[in-house]
Amino acid sequence: MSDHVADGEAGPGRLIVCPTPIGNLEDVTLRVLAALREADVVACEDTRRTRTLLHRYGVNATLISYHEHNERERAAQLVARMRSGATVALVSDAGMPLVSDPGFVLVRACVAAGLAVEVLPGPSAAVAALVASALPADRWRFAGFLPRRRSELERVLRSPETVVAFESPRRLGASLAVLAELDPDRPVAVCRELTKAHEEVLRGSAAELAARYRSQPPRGEVALVIGAAADPGPGLAPALDALGRLVTAGAKPRPAAGVVAQLTGVGANELYRALTSGGPATPG
């Protein structure tokens, strides 16, 4: 039996997902303010942060904490309230809930319970950074926070689309250094403190920005936008992807390249060089 529930068939209560400003409180939308006023309860990451926003606009609301450490318990409680007819508004500290923020467990629980879920549009650091980067936005992927393991990080950096990711200021220099090793000329934009008083967008090559942040980490929140990696070609791409998966799973690169070469017909040395250099080998 399908678990799809049409809007008109939903239970008596509902969930309203409300994006909040990523820095400048004036970026809140009128619909979000109306939803926060209407809600019987507002589920939020940090009640202090949300109370600051509500106080700015004279909104009185009942707040309940909802964060990564209590998601499952709170989701069950909130679903029970919605089944009894309550309207719940979900917010995160900044931006759209679920996008590198809590909320997935609650949305899934509402859908499973047949409750209506309404998502309001609003601020998003990922989209703001993408546009500010001046890099192609027709094909892009959001990677969340960049992985720490080098093999996993390299797989993200080799994406054939523009990549938008979050990174901590103290790790930015190291991540850019890895990218500069793979492709020093790759275009990058470091978007810092978006919409805030000290907003800054620096654009340049991976090598240039890696050098800038090598010994001087930036301050504040950082969104990183990375230009697409060069297409390794139709013959090499699937084999290189398979090799990357094996290495991520723990295989040693050179023996794994030999195995993939036997299965695909692509040269083992070509695969190994492509894996370690970030692109296809150049015939010589």
| pLDDT computed for residue 273 by the predictor | 80
Name the least confident of 21-25, 188-192, 208-212, 243-247: 243-247
The verdict on domain 11-123 having CATH code 3.90.1150.10 is no
pLDDT above 60 (res 126) = yes
Average pLDDT over residues 16-21: 98
Residues 6+ apart with CB under 8 A from 57: 28, 33
Contact 239, 264 (CB under 8 A): yes
| Nearest-angstrom CA–CA distance, 76 and 157 | 38
Average pLDDT over residues 251-256: 91
| pLDDT computed for residue 271 by the predictor | 84
| pLDDT computed for residue 166 by the predictor | 96
| pLDDT computed for residue 278 by the predictor | 57
| Nearest-angstrom CA–CA distance, 64 and 101 | 16
| Nearest-angstrom CA–CA distance, 157 and 137 | 16
Average pLDDT over residues 72-101: 96
| Nearest-angstrom CA–CA distance, 115 and 6 | 10
Domains 11-123 and 126-226 share a fold: no
| pLDDT computed for residue 264 by the predictor | 81
Q: Report percent pLDDT > 90 for the chain.
A: 75
Q: Is 99 helix (H, G, I), strand (E, B) or coil?
A: coil
pLDDT above 80 (res 7) = no
Average pLDDT over residues 166-184: 95
| pLDDT computed for residue 263 by the predictor | 85
**Confidence label for 215 from pLDDT (cuts 50, 70 and 90):** confident
| Radius of gyration, alpha carbons of the chain | 23
Q: For the beta carbon of residue 84, count every other beta carbon within 10 angstroms.
A: 11
Q: Measuring CA to CA, which residue among 40, 138, 141, 129 is closest to residue 84? A: 40
Average pLDDT over residues 221-243: 84
pLDDT above 70 (res 161) = yes
| Domain-wise residue ranges, the chain | 11-123, 126-226, 236-277
Q: Is 221 helix (H, G, I), strand (E, B) or coil?
A: coil
| pLDDT computed for residue 232 by the predictor | 59
| pLDDT computed for residue 9 by the predictor | 47
| Nearest-angstrom CA–CA distance, 268 and 256 | 9
| Region for 63 from its dihedrals, namely left if φ exceeds 0, alpha if ψ lies in -120 to 50, beta otherwise | beta
| pLDDT computed for residue 262 by the predictor | 84
pLDDT above 70 (res 6) = no
* pLDDT mean across residues, the chain: 90
CATH of domain 126-226: 3.30.950.10
| Region for 114 from its dihedrals, namely left if φ exceeds 0, alpha if ψ lies in -120 to 50, beta otherwise | left
Average pLDDT over residues 3-25: 76
**Confidence label for 241 from pLDDT (cuts 50, 70 and 90):** confident
| pLDDT computed for residue 8 by the predictor | 43
Instruction: List phi, psi (to 5°) of 61.
Output: -150, 155
| pLDDT computed for residue 132 by the predictor | 97
> Which residue's entry shows tokens 């195995």?
259
Distance in Å from the first CA to the final CA of the chain = 59
